[in-house]
Amino acid sequence: MKPLFLLLGLLFYTVQGYPCDPCGKYHNSDFQIKKVSVKHLTGIGATLWEITVKGTAGKTTPTPAGQLNGAPVLGYVFPTSLKPTDVGFGNTEGIVALALTSHPDFDDTPLWDENADNNFANDGIVWHPHWVVLTEDKRVEGGLAVKQFDPKDTSVVLPPTNPGMPMYMDSPGFQVITKGNTIKVVVPDYRINNRTDFSYDGVTAYMQVHTGSDDGRNSGDKPMLGVYKVYAVASGDLSLPYQVN
Ligand SMILES: [Ca+2]
Ligand SMILES: [Ca+2]
């Protein structure tokens, strides 16, 4: 797998010549990574995933676009060496990442009410986790996108908590905590196949939704959810050098 990670790392630095107007707006210290860690807490049977930044973690959230097409998504992302099957997807190629995101234009957590107001469809701006499978995608500046599939493909397996989009994306509902310069997420062991031996990295990024048309169908010239700008990579080269401890 390592050559793939290195290739993707290289992509980050070779395709930044594309313009991305909204990207610069969020390029601040809240997304400058100081360190990343994943610790196994045997006492509660969970791993604690944490990104520490120079500024205030989670303070900067996107300005709404007012529509789904072009909707901005900011993320604190943990690319991992976990297999898609470890987190409930079927077997498929790509990098499994846990992405903590904020996106005020839409809610993709129909099972969860993160702001606890009894409305399950208004939580997009609240930092919340997604499992995603990332693959190389040269149609966007960041060189990566969430892997899509044909909605008619009945062989695709998604976790039961997926939000119903034709992408390898899950809305697992784990607790996210932002405090000072850290953002954290608690992942129960049984939700990652009891794995504690994986490697990981830390990334902050600007992503964007592309539906391509008013009826919400993707036109194909851009990915449905692409990475447009990588603000920081903890390792510097996306080599996933860190191990759970
Ligand atoms: Ca929700
Ligand atoms: Ca709510």
| Nearest ligand by distance to the CA of 124 | 1
Residue 115 CA to ligand 2 center (angstroms) comes to 5
Residue 20 has what pLDDT?
82
Residue 53 placed within a domain: no
Residues 6+ apart with CB under 8 A from 142: 11, 12, 15, 205, 206, 207, 226, 227, 228, 229, 230
Residues of the chain with pLDDT under 70: 1-19, 213-220
Question: Taking a C-beta distance cutoff of 8 angstroms, is the pair 104, 74 a contact?
Answer: no
Give the pLDDT confidence score for residue 16 in this predicted structure: 46
pLDDT value for 138: 95
Q: Please check whether residue 179 lies inside any domain of the structure.
A: no
Question: For residue 238, how far is its CA from the centre of ligand 1 (angstroms)?
Answer: 31
For the chain, how many structural domains are there in total? Answer: 1
Q: Is residue 100 part of a domain?
A: yes
Within-domain flag for 40: no
Ligand lying closest to the C-alpha of residue 128: 1
In a domain, 189, yes or no: no
Whole-number Å distance, alpha carbon 172 to ligand 2 midpoint, is 16
Would you tell me how many other CB atoms lie within 10 Å of the CB of residue 157?
Answer: 14
Range of the domain at 128: 2-35+60-174+199-243
Q: Would 48 be classed as within a structural domain?
A: no
Residue 181 placed within a domain: no
Asked, for residue 148, whether it belongs to a domain, the answer is: yes
pLDDT of residue 158: 98
3-state secondary structure of 151: coil
